[in-house]
Amino acid sequence: MPYIFDELEDPIWQMLSSVKRPSRYAGGEWGADGGLVEGKERSSICLAFPDVYEVGMSYLGFQILYNMASGIPGVRVERTYCPWPDAEAYMRENRMALGSLESGRPLSSFDVVGFTLQYELTSTNILTMLDMGGIPLNVSERGEKDPLVVAGGPGAFAPEPLVPFFDA
């Protein structure tokens, strides 16, 4: 079920009217339901693409991973993308956590946050997304209630610069 917001009360509605490309953050695409009704899952995963929505949605591998993971029984799968600087500034100014596209849940509320590392230029976006999602940047600062932060993709073959930020 896509994230549904109340125009008058939800802060996301206010943000959508304040950014240049609101469709990046609105969600509701055909087939994007995460596989389960919220509250029925045993575990939850947020797949994170460390670039804007248009770039992440054009990457077929990310779509395939989302589709496959959504078919795992008992697992709720959602997605998030790095906000553009206008949305980032608005969210920070209004103390809004980065959430998933499907439900708007903050990244810190998931069991696992999985990043795809497609190219090196998105490394700083990963740190931005962790910070905005309410997840401590360094693994050493995380506790039992924080999500497991994992990474995969071509950039994972040379992981050394990002080791302090990923659990696996």
Domains in the chain and their CATH numbers? 33-165 (3.40.50)
Q: How many CB atoms lie within 10 A of CB 54?
A: 12
Q: Over range 21-32, report the average pLDDT.
A: 66
Determine the pLDDT at residue 87. 87
List, in order, residues 6 or more apart from 66 with CB less than 8 Å away: 32, 47, 77, 79
Is 107 within 8 Å of 129 (Cβ atoms)? Answer: yes
Angle among Cα 10, 13, 15 to the nearest 5 degrees reads 115
Residue 14 has pLDDT above 80, yes or no: no
The one-letter code for the residue type at 160 is: E
66-125 residue pLDDT tens: 989 988 888 999 999 999 998 899 989 999 999 998 888 999 999 999 999 998 889 999
Q: Give the pLDDT band (50/70/90) at residue 126.
A: very high
Determine the pLDDT at residue 46. 97
Residue 61 has pLDDT above 60, yes or no: yes
